Chain A
Amino acid sequence: MRILGMMMVFIACSGIGITYSYIYKKRVEQLCEWKKGIVLLKNEINYSLTPLPEAFEIIGRKLEGVMNRFFDEIAALLKTNNNKTMSSLDEKVIKKLLIDSCLNEKDRKTIISFIKNLGLLDKESQMNNLELHINYIQQEIDAAKKDEEKNNKLFKTLGILSGIFIIVIFI
C-alpha cells in the first residue's frame, strides 16, 4: 500500500512536469502552423484574390489540429455573420476558438488583432500587413523554440525530482 502510494505521487509529479514541457513543445508547433496558415493566406490573396471567407476555408483544410479548426471556424463566422465588420468581431468569440490551443495570452492577442485588421485593406496594404505579421511570428517562433529548449528538460526534471522529494519527506 505504501509503495503504491509512493508510485502514485511519483507518477503524478512526473506527469505534471511532462505536461508543462509538452505545452512549450505544442506552442512552437501551433505557432509554426499559424505561420503556415498566414503564408498560405498571403498566396491566396496575392495570386488568386480569394475573398477572406473562402480563403480561410481553403487554408483550414490544409492545416492540422487546432489551427485547422480555427481557420474553419473563422471562415464560418465570416460567412454567416453578415452584419459584423472584421474590426467589430467579438474578441471573446475568437478567443474561445483558441481555447484548446497551447498559445499564451500574448499570442492570442496578436492573432485577434491581426484578424480584426484584415477587413478594409487593398491588396498592397494587405500584402504589407501579412509580411509584417509573418516576420513577427517568425521571431515569436524563434523565441518559443529557445523557451522550449530551456524549459523542456527543466520541467521534466523538476516533475521527477519533486515527486522523489515528496516521497522522501513522507518516508
Chain B
Amino acid sequence: MNGNRIENILSEKLKRVLENENVQTELQEIRLRVDKPIMIYWANKEFFIGTDLKLHTLDQNSLCATNDDIKEVLEYISKHSLYAYEEDIRNGYITIEGGHRIGLAGKVVLENGKVKTIRNVSCINIRVSHEIKGSADHVLPYIVTGGVIHHTLIISPPKCGKTTLLRDIVRQVSDGFMNFHGVNVGLVDERSEIGGCYRGIPQNDIGKRTDILDSCNKGEGLLMLIRAMAPQVIALDEIGNKDDIDAIEYAINAGCKIICTVHGNSIKDIKDKPRLQELIERKLFQRYIFLENQNNIGDIKKIYDEDHKMVSMLVDKRMLKES
C-alpha cells in the first residue's frame, strides 16, 4: 500500500467516493465540519457529496460529516497516536506522510494565555500536497541571470501557488538547471508546507543540495542555517513579522541570497508592512514576482526589478488557449 495516498486517512465512506469519482489527480482539499456538508475541492471547483456518493456542484441533500467521521479521520491521521502530535495540534495542523497538511479547528484549550491543545476537533481541512515540477521554469531566468542569483520576493494573495512556485525554485536552484550549476540552499520551513516533512524527512523534492529546518521559527532558523550549514541561498515562506525581516537583513549582509514569499496583492500592500517597506525602499530585493489567478492557480506571473519596473509578464499557455 502506498503510504503517501490520501485515501489512507479517510473514512470508508469518503474513500469510496474518491475511488468512484477518480478525483485523486487534481484533488486540492477535503473539508469536514461536524453536521455540515462534506466539501471537496477538485480541479479548482467546489463539490458536495450527494446521497448517491457522487460529486455534485449544488448542495442538495449533501452528505454531512458526523462527529464520528471527524474522530475516525483524526485517528488515521495520527496513526492511532494523538499524543504523538500534540505539538502539531497546538499549532493547528498535522503534516502527514506525503507532505499533505491537515488543518484542525475546534475547542481550543488555553493554559497561561497560550494554546495548550485543540480538544473536540470539529473541523478538518485536508490539503493535498501538490508538487508541480517545472512550475518555476519560466521565472528562473529572471531570478538567476549570468550565474548570479537575485534576492527575490514572491508576492501573492492566498491560493495563488506561491509555495508551489517557491518549492520548485528551491529544487532547481539546488539541483541546477540549464547552464546553472546548483548551489547549497538552506530552507526554513516553519509550517512544513514546502518540504512537507514527515519525521524530519522531506516528502517533496526540494533538491539535492538543500538543507531543511522543519517546523522552525523563520527568524531563528535562518540564523541557525547561516551558522551551521553555510548556505548560498536561503528560502523562506510567508515572511511577515519584525524578527523575520531582521533575520533576512542579517542574511543579506552575511552574503546569502534570499528567496522568500509574502502575502499581498501589490507593492503598496507589502509596503504597508513597516519593516518590509524599509527593505524595499533600500532596494535589497532585486526581483519581485507577483502571482495572480485568472483561470488557474498562479496562471499570471508579473516580474519586477528593484526599481519596480516590470521586467516580464508570464501568462500560462493554457489560459491563452482558453481565451
Contacts and interface: CB of A to CB of B under 8 A. Distances in A.
What is the predominant secondary structure among interface residues of chain A facing chain B? loop
Contact of A120 (B9, B12, B75): B75
Interface in B13-62: 15
A77 to B, nearest CB: 10
Given A49-B84, A120-B71, A121-B83, A83 B76 contact: yes
Given A82-B1, A119-B75, A120-B74, A51 B12 contact: no
Contact of A86 (B8, B75, B86): B75
A122 interface: yes
A151 interface: no
Contacts of B205: none
A119 B80 contact: yes
Q: Which 10 A-B pairs have the closest CB atoms?
A: A51-B81, A123-B83, A51-B79, A82-B8, A49-B84, A52-B81, A51-B84, A52-B80, A85-B75, A126-B83
B293 to A, nearest CB: 35
Contacts of B10: 83
Nearest to A88: B72
A32 interface: no
Interface of B: 1, 8-12, 15, 71-72, 74-76, 78-84, 86, 117
B79 A52 contact: yes
Contacts of B72: 85
Interface of A: 45, 49-53, 55, 78, 80, 82-83, 85-86, 118-123, 126
Contact of A45 (B11, B15, B71, B83): B83
B16 to A, nearest CB: 11
A78 B83 contact: no
A131 B295 CA distance: 57
A123 B15 CA distance: 29
Nearest to B89: A122
Contact of B15 (A53, A83, A86, A119): A83
A120 B15 CA distance: 21
Contact of B78 (A50, A51, A80): A51
Given A45-B81, A53-B79, A85-B76, 8 more contacts: A45-B84, A49-B83, A82-B8, A82-B9, A83-B11, A83-B12, A119-B80, A120-B82
A130 B86 CA distance: 18
B86 A123 contact: yes
Contacts of B11: 83
A121 B74 CA distance: 11
14 contacts: A45-B83, A45-B84, A50-B81, A50-B84, A51-B79, A53-B80, A82-B8, A83-B8, A83-B10, A85-B72, A86-B75, A86-B80, A118-B80, A123-B86
B117 A78 contact: no
A82 B72 CA distance: 11
Contacts of B9: 82
Contacts of A53: 79-81
Contact of A78 (B1, B15, B80, B82): B80
Nearest to B76: A82
A142 B83 CA distance: 31
Contacts of A120: 71, 74-75, 80, 82
A83 B10 CA distance: 7
Given A120-B71, A120-B74, A51 B80 contact: yes
A30 to B, nearest CB: 24
Contacts of A49: 83-84, 86
A93 to B, nearest CB: 15
B168 to A, nearest CB: 30
A118 B15 CA distance: 24
A67 B214 CA distance: 37
Contacts of B81: 45, 50-53, 55
Nearest to A124: B83
Contacts of B74: 120
Contacts of B76: 82-83, 85
B206 to A, nearest CB: 24
B25 to A, nearest CB: 21
Contact of B79 (A45, A78, A123): A78
A122 B117 contact: yes
